[in-house]
């Protein structure tokens, strides 16, 4: 699949799992960066060992990347393969299906976050779905969220992502309580949260000023009930605050022991590069991760951001890996909405009927494999070398089970080519 480069310099092509720039004549403009020390043992030069080998030693897995959605529906799954507990309560579903999942998924791979020494599970549970239902209709309260965190922990998920703005703080509160319940030690899981979004109508309760960053981390730690987070992320770029002010404040958060690492979220590649350069020039803490908008129907990040992250060793942890549930079958053509969330999702207009060509092929591959469409879409994302762990949200246990199962699904080259072929370029979305 090729998409016209917006600058007119040529075409962007995805070959196998590598992001490459290709001039119109076919000559490669940018070669994928492969660290010889990071290639799995026994892999020949040029071989995509991550795609060929389902399980690799932890030390050999490098650069693998919210779903802030709940992905309803399991499009592409035969009726006899769907949850036998459909219609049962969450607790009943948990009890009846617990045994068949625990043994299969308890050894989920732990991978490095970019070039850091930090290990995270290759699926991150997005906690946006848990908090205060008064904030959004589809949000689950603490009691309803409990089985999801339990299932995640039993499956080997150790990476959890939230933000101060989710349920206006209630998500952090629920996250902190449930993680304390299911982990005996704070060191056994990786906790990420974010700062930037508007928290109130007060003038300094938003953005990336020094005042808000320092107040934001203290408020998040209080709600989470911990003395530090592992990854403190800026939720967006703040054009109203000097980059130097933001990066120094984040550095001071790390120096104070309140965060171990810092990360960024959706922005233009030049903005990310500018912030990294500023930190490096002053000897301040640099970002180690990028939480961006990336999935099978939105691949514009392959033009600039992902090559930058690959070159710099930045871990990529995409939000909306199922395109707000589009790739899981939560809506149809003509703006048909099939779930509560898809009916009132403020981001749902990011995708159009043109994207259903990709959705249809994804469903076809899933049907051929006898798995849920969500599994195929996530398996494709996990096949990208630069992706560390997609952030997956779930409001049904089947959503979480599909994400876990995707880590065991390896797509072949022909399947990947079929999935990528119908892609339609988009304007920049999600910033």
Give pLDDT tens digits for 45-88: 333 333 322 232 222 322 233 333 333 333 444 333 333 333 33
pLDDT beyond 70 at 20: no
Give catalytic status of residue 232 as yes or no. no
Note the pLDDT of residue 429.
87
Give the whole-angstrom CA distance, residue 85 versus residue 146: 18
**Half-sphere CA count of 248, side-chain side, radius 13 A:** 10
Inter-residue contact 77 to 371 (CB < 8 Å): yes
CA–chain centroid gap for 11, Å, is 26
User: Does 338 or 407 have the greater pLDDT score?
Assistant: 407
Q: Which of these, 377, 382, 393, 397, lies nearest to 328 by C-alpha position?
A: 377
Q: What is the mean pLDDT of residues 153-163?
A: 98
The single-letter DSSP state of residue 430 is -
124 bridge partner residues = 159, 391
pLDDT tier at 306 (50, 70, 90 boundaries)? very high
Q: What is the dihedral of CA 147, 152, 158, 164, to 10 degrees?
A: -50
Strands (E), 151-291: 159-161, 190-195, 229-234, 259-265, 287-291
**Mean pLDDT, all residues of the chain:** 80
Does the reported pTM lie above 0.95?
A: no
pLDDT tier at 430 (50, 70, 90 boundaries)? confident
Instruction: Evaluate the CA torsion angle 213, 215, 218, 222 in order and state its sign.
Output: negative
Inter-residue contact 147 to 94 (CB < 8 Å): yes
Condensed to tens digits (0 to 9), the pLDDT of residues 198-220 reads 999 999 999 999 999 999 999 99
Per the listing, tokens 């309560």 go with: 89
Inter-residue contact 235 to 165 (CB < 8 Å): yes
Give the whole-angstrom CA distance, residue 412 versus residue 260: 37
Q: What is the mean pLDDT of residues 243-259?
A: 98
Note the pLDDT of residue 150.
98
Catalytic site residue from 130, 166, 294, 351: 166
Inter-residue contact 250 to 213 (CB < 8 Å): yes
Inter-residue contact 168 to 197 (CB < 8 Å): no
Give the whole-angstrom CA distance, residue 195 versus residue 213: 7
pLDDT beyond 70 at 344: no
Write down how long the chain is: 431
pLDDT tier at 98 (50, 70, 90 boundaries)? very low
Q: What is the dihedral of CA 394, 396, 398, 401, to 10 degrees?
A: 40
Give the whole-angstrom CA distance, residue 131 versus residue 81: 31
Backbone angles phi, psi at 4, to 5 degrees: -60, 130
């Amino acid at each position: 699949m090729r998409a016209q480069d917006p600058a007119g310099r040529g075409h962007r092509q995805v070959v196998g799992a590598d992001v490459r720039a290709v001039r119109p004549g076919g000559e490669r403009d940018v070669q994928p960066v492969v660290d010889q020390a990071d290639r799995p043992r026994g892999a020949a030069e040029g071989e995509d060992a991550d795609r060929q080998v389902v399980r690799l030693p932890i030390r050999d897995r490098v650069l693998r990347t919210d779903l802030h959605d709940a992905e309803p529906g399991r499009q592409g799954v035969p009726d006899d393969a769907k949850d036998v507990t459909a219609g049962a309560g969450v607790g009943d579903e948990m009890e009846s299906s617990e045994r068949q999942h625990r043994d299969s998924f308890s050894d989920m791979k732990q991978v490095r976050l970019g070039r850091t020494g930090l290990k995270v599970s290759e699926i991150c549970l997005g906690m946006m779905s848990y908090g205060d239902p008064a904030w959004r209709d589809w949000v689950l309260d603490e009691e309803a969220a409990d089985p999801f965190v339990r299932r995640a922990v039993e499956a080997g998920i150790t990476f959890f992502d939230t933000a101060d703005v989710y349920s206006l703080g209630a998500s952090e509160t629920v996250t902190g309580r449930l993680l304390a319940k299911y982990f005996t030690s704070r060191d056994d899981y990786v906790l990420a949260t974010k700062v930037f979004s508007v928290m109130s109508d007060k003038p300094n309760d938003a953005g990336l000023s020094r005042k808000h960053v320092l107040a934001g981390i203290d408020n998040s730690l209080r709600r989470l009930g911990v003395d530090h987070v592992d990854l403190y992320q800026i939720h967006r770029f703040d054009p109203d605050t000097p980059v130097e002010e933001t990066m120094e404040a984040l550095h001071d958060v790390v120096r104070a022991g309140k965060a171990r690492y810092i990360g960024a979220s959706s922005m233009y590649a030049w903005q990310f590069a500018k912030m990294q350069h500023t930190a490096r020039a002053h000897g301040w803490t640099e970002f180690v991760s990028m939480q961006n908008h990336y999935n099978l129907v939105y691949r514009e990040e392959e033009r600039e951001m992902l090559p930058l992250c690959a070159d710099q060793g930045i871990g990529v942890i995409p939000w909306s890996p199922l395109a707000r549930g589009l790739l899981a079958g939560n809506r149809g053509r003509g703006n048909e909405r099939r779930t509560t969330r898809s009916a009132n999702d403020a981001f749902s207009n990011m995708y159009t009927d043109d994207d259903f060509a990709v959705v249809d092929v994804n469903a076809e591959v899933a049907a051929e494999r006898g798995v849920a469409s969500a599994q195929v879409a996530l398996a494709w994302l996990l096949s990208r070398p630069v992706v560390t762990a997609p952030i997956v949200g779930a409001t049904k246990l089947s959503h979480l089970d599909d994400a876990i199962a995707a880590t065991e699904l390896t797509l072949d080259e022909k399947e990947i080519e079929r999935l990528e072929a119908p892609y339609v370029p988009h304007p920049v979305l999600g910033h």
